[in-house]
A and B are shown apart, each in its own frame.
Chain A
Amino acid sequence: MAVAELRERLSAVPLRPARLRIGWLSAGVACLIVAALVGVFIGPVGINPAQALRKLVGLLPFVPDTSHLSAQHEAILMQLRLPRVVLAGIVGATLAISGAAYQGAFRNPLADPYLLGAAAGAGLGATVAIAYTPAGVGSNIVPMASFAGALLAVALAYAVGRASGPGRTATTLVLAGIAVMSFFTAVQTFLLQRRADQIREVYGWILGRLATVGWSDVFLVLPYVAVGIATIMAHRRLLDVLALGDDEAEAVGVPARRVRLIVVVAASLSTAAVVAVSGLIGFVGLIVPHVVRLVAGTSYRVILPLSLCFGAAFLILADLLGRTVISPAELPIGVITAFFGAPFFALVLRTSRKML
C-alpha cells in the first residue's frame, strides 16, 4: 500500500497552477512606484527631483529628512502633489479591482464597477447636491450625496434582481441594474433640464476630476476602500470557482450566490466611496483588468493584485497628463483615461493571442 502510494506520488505530474508570478508582481509594483514618483516630480512649478526624493525618503520611519526644499516648494509637494498622486492611485486601484471583481462575480467580461447603477446613482446624488441646494452648501455635500446615491442605486438593483424569484441569475441582476440606471439617469436629466445654469458644473463633475483634493479626501475614502479591497482580495480563489457557474460552484461546495453578494457589496462600497471624491472616471474598471488578463493570466489570483497596481499607476499617469498637457488649465481625467486607454487596449487586444 505504502509502496503503491509512493509510486503514485512519484509518477504524478508536477502541477503548475495559475498563481501570481513574482515577476509580474514586481513589474506591477515597480510600475506603480515609477508612476507615483513621476507624478510627484512633474508639475507647473519646477521642484528639484533630487530634493523632492530626499523629502519623500525622509517620510519613512527612522529615516532622517535631509532635503533642502523651500517652504513654498515643500508645501506644494506635501499638500498639493502628494495627496493628489495618492488619491489618483487609490481611485485607479479601486476602480480597476472593483471592475475585475464585478467581471468575476457576474462572469461577464463587459462588467465594470458601474454595472449595477453606481455611476447613475452617484450622478443623481451629485446633481441634487449641486443644483438643488443653496449656493455654497452644494459643493460641500457633493461627496456625501453621490456616495449615498451610488449605494442606493446598487441596493435598489439588488432588491429588484432578487424580487424576480428563486430562478434569478447573474443576468437578472445585470438587467435590474440596467433598469435602475435608466431610471436614475432619466431623473437626473429631468432635474438638470430645470436648472440649466448648473449643467456645466454637474457635467464637470461627471467627467471626473481630482483637481481640488487635499489629504482630507484621501482620509475620507480610505476606510471604505481598505475594507472593500481587502474583502475582494480575500475572495480571489472563490472568484475562480465562480467561473464554473453557480450550479457547479455549489456542487463543489462553494456558496456561489453568497460569494457574489459579498464581492459585489465590497466592490460597490469602495466604488461609491471613490466616485464621491473623483466623479465618474470611466474606462479604468473595464480595461485594466482585461489588459492584465491578456498579458498575465486569467486567474483572479493574478488579475486582482495586478489590477490594483496597474490601475493605480494608470490613473496617476492619466492625471499627470490631465494637469500638464494644457497647463495651467486641466483636462478632465475621464477624457484622458478613454483617449489614451482605448488605443492602448486596442493594441493589446491585437497583439495578444490569448482568449479572454
Chain B
Amino acid sequence: MTAVDVRSLSVELGGRSILRDVSLNVPSGGWLGLIGPNGAGKTTILRAIAGLVPSHGELLIGDARGHALRPRERARLVAIVAQRPSLPAAMNVADYVLLGRSPYIRYFDTETRSDMDAAARALERLDIGEFADRALGTLSGGEQQRVVLARALAQATPVLLLDEGTAALDVGSQQHVLEIVSELRDEHGITVISAMHDLTLAAQYADEVVLVAGGRVVETGIPEVVIREDLVRSAYGAEVRITRDEDGIIVSPVRARRRSRSAT
C-alpha cells in the first residue's frame, strides 16, 4: 500500500517557481531519502506534503487527498521535524512533547489522560523520561533532537517527515537519531521521508532515494542506482568517489585534480 503518493506537484512562492512537476511515491513502512544540493527544493517538498506551503498537483496521504485535508486531520497523518525547530527556552520537555498531541484536542478542549500517556510513552521510548521537567534551553543539541522526535512520535502519525539540519549534529548524534527513527519504523510501521545531506547515511538508511536539483526530480531509485559519481557531479558540482562494501556504498569527497587549474 502506498503511504504517500505525489504526482506532478508544483510550488510557487512569490511568483517564483520552487518545485516543478515533482512526483514521488513511498510504500507504507518505507524510507525515502531526498538528496540534492542546498536550495534544490528538498525542504519545500516536505513542507508541501505537510501542507505548510500551498501546492498544485496531486498529493495522496494514505487514501486521503492531501489538499482537501483540514489542518488538524492532516496533522494526524503527517508529523514533520523541522530543520531548525523552534524550542521555547523556558518550556519544559513534558509540555513540549505534549504539544504533539494538539491534533487530537479540539479547539477549546484540553489534554486528556490518554494524551498524557501518549506523551509519557514517547518520552520513555526516546529515553528522555528523566528530562521531563527540564527546560528546553538547558538541553544539548543531541538531547534537543530527541525531544523533537518525541514530540513527533507523540503525534502518532503514520508518516514522519524529517528535515535534517545541515550540520547541526555531530556524526554520533546524527547516527543515533537515524537509528532511533529506523527502530520506530520497524516497531510502528511508520513511513519516513527525510531530506538528507550526508549521501553515505542516505544510502545506508533509505530504501529509495530521490535526487532533486533546481526544483525538479533528477533521478529516483535505490541508492546504488541514484548515487553515482556522474549524477552527484552534475547535481552538486562535487567530485566524489563512490566505493562499495558489504554495508552499502560510501561516498567520499575527493580533491579536484590540478589539471583544471593549470589549464587556465
Partner of B117, one of A9, A243, A253, A293: A9
Asked if A138 is an interface residue, CB under 8 A from chain B, the answer is no
Question: Are the C-beta atoms of A253 and B91 separated by less than 8 Å?
Answer: no
Q: Mark B99-130, 1 if CB is under 8 A from A, else 0.
A: 11011010111110000110111011000011
Q: Mark B40-57, 1 if CB is under 8 A from A, else 0.
A: 000000000011100000
Given A243-B91, A250-B52, A355 and B117 contact (CB-CB distance below 8 Å): no
The tally of residues in B whose CB lies under 8 Å from a CB in A reads 47
Question: Are the C-beta atoms of A18 and B88 separated by less than 8 Å?
Answer: no
Partner of B88, one of A234, A243, A354: A243
Question: Are the C-beta atoms of A15 and B98 separated by less than 8 Å?
Answer: yes
Q: How many A-B residue pairs have CB under 8 A?
A: 102
Query: When chains A and B are docked, how far (Å) is the Cα of A255 from the Cα of B72?
Result: 9
Note all chain A residues with C-beta closer than 8 A to B109: 237
Question: Are the C-beta atoms of A355 and B79 separated by less than 8 Å?
Answer: no
Note all chain B residues with C-beta closer than 8 A to A244: 85-86, 88, 99
Question: Are the C-beta atoms of A251 and B52 separated by less than 8 Å?
Answer: yes
Note all chain A residues with C-beta closer than 8 A to B14: 165-167
Question: Are the C-beta atoms of B103 and A253 separated by less than 8 Å?
Answer: yes
Question: Are the C-beta atoms of B124 and A11 separated by less than 8 Å?
Answer: yes
Question: Are the C-beta atoms of B135 and A355 separated by less than 8 Å?
Answer: yes
Name the residue of chain A whose CB is nearest to the CB of B51: A250
Query: When chains A and B are docked, how far (Å) is the Cα of A140 from the Cα of B110?
Result: 45
Partner of B100, one of A17, A252, A356: A252
Question: Are the C-beta atoms of A13 and B124 separated by less than 8 Å?
Answer: yes
Asked if A200 is an interface residue, CB under 8 A from chain B, the answer is no
Asked if A298 is an interface residue, CB under 8 A from chain B, the answer is yes
Question: Are the C-beta atoms of A14 and B120 separated by less than 8 Å?
Answer: yes
Partner of B71, one of A13, A240, A255: A255
The tally of residues in A whose CB lies under 8 Å from a CB in B reads 35
Note all chain B residues with C-beta closer than 8 A to A253: 71-76, 102-103
Given A11-B124, A251-B80, A18 and B92 contact (CB-CB distance below 8 Å): yes
Note all chain B residues with C-beta closer than 8 A to A293: 90
Q: Which of B72, B74, B90, B94 has the most CB of A within 10 A?
A: B90
Query: When chains A and B are docked, how far (Å) is the Cα of A339 from the Cα of B133?
Result: 37
Asked if B155 is an interface residue, CB under 8 A from chain A, the answer is yes
Given A234-B108, A252-B102, A13 and B91 contact (CB-CB distance below 8 Å): no
Query: When chains A and B are docked, how far (Å) is the Cα of A293 from the Cα of B88?
Result: 13
Given A241-B99, A250-B51, A356-B90, A12 and B79 contact (CB-CB distance below 8 Å): no
Query: When chains A and B are docked, how far (Å) is the Cα of A245 from the Cα of B80?
Result: 14
Question: Are the C-beta atoms of B86 and A241 separated by less than 8 Å?
Answer: no
Note all chain B residues with C-beta closer than 8 A to A255: 71
**Which parts of A228-263 form the interface with B (CB within 8 Å)?**
234, 237-238, 240-241, 243-245, 247-248, 250-255
Q: Mark B145-178, 1 if CB is under 8 A from A, else 0.
A: 0000000000100000000000000000000000
Given A248-B86, A252-B100, A355 and B137 contact (CB-CB distance below 8 Å): yes
Asked if A16 is an interface residue, CB under 8 A from chain B, the answer is yes
Asked if A299 is an interface residue, CB under 8 A from chain B, the answer is yes
Question: Are the C-beta atoms of A13 and B88 separated by less than 8 Å?
Answer: no
Asked if A8 is an interface residue, CB under 8 A from chain B, the answer is yes
Note all chain B residues with C-beta closer than 8 A to A245: 86
Interface SS of chain A: helix, strand, loop or mixed? Answer: loop
Given A15-B119, A355-B135, A254 and B102 contact (CB-CB distance below 8 Å): yes
Note all chain B residues with C-beta closer than 8 A to A237: 105, 109-111
Min distance, Cβ B136 to any Cβ of chain A, angstroms: 10
Note all chain A residues with C-beta closer than 8 A to B24: none
Asked if B89 is an interface residue, CB under 8 A from chain A, the answer is yes
Question: Are the C-beta atoms of B99 and A240 separated by less than 8 Å?
Answer: yes
Partner of B52, one of A247, A298, A355: A247
Partner of B94, one of A15, A234, A354: A15
Asked if B201 is an interface residue, CB under 8 A from chain A, the answer is no
Asked if B95 is an interface residue, CB under 8 A from chain A, the answer is yes
Name the residue of chain B whose CB is nearest to the CB of A235: B108
Partner of B82, one of A8, A11, A247: A247
Name the residue of chain A whose CB is nearest to the CB of B105: A237
Q: Which of A16, A241, A253, A254 has the most CB of B within 10 A?
A: A253
Question: Are the C-beta atoms of A15 and B124 separated by less than 8 Å?
Answer: no
Min distance, Cβ A162 to any Cβ of chain B, angstroms: 16
Min distance, Cβ A356 to any Cβ of chain B, angstroms: 7
Given A252-B100, A255-B71, A16 and B155 contact (CB-CB distance below 8 Å): no
Note all chain A residues with C-beta closer than 8 A to B90: 293, 298, 354-356
Q: Which of A11, A17, A167, A355 has the most CB of B within 10 A?
A: A17
Note all chain B residues with C-beta closer than 8 A to A13: 120, 123-124, 129-130, 132
Note all chain B residues with C-beta closer than 8 A to A243: 86, 88, 91
List 14 A-B residue pairs with CB atoms under 8 Å apart, sorted by A's residue number. A8-B124, A12-B120, A12-B121, A18-B91, A18-B95, A165-B14, A234-B108, A237-B109, A241-B102, A244-B99, A247-B52, A251-B52, A251-B79, A355-B89
**Residue positions of B touching A, CB distance < 8 A:** 14, 50-52, 71-76, 79-80, 82, 85-86, 88-92, 94-95, 98-100, 102-103, 105, 107-111, 116-117, 119-121, 123-124, 129-130, 132-133, 135, 137, 155
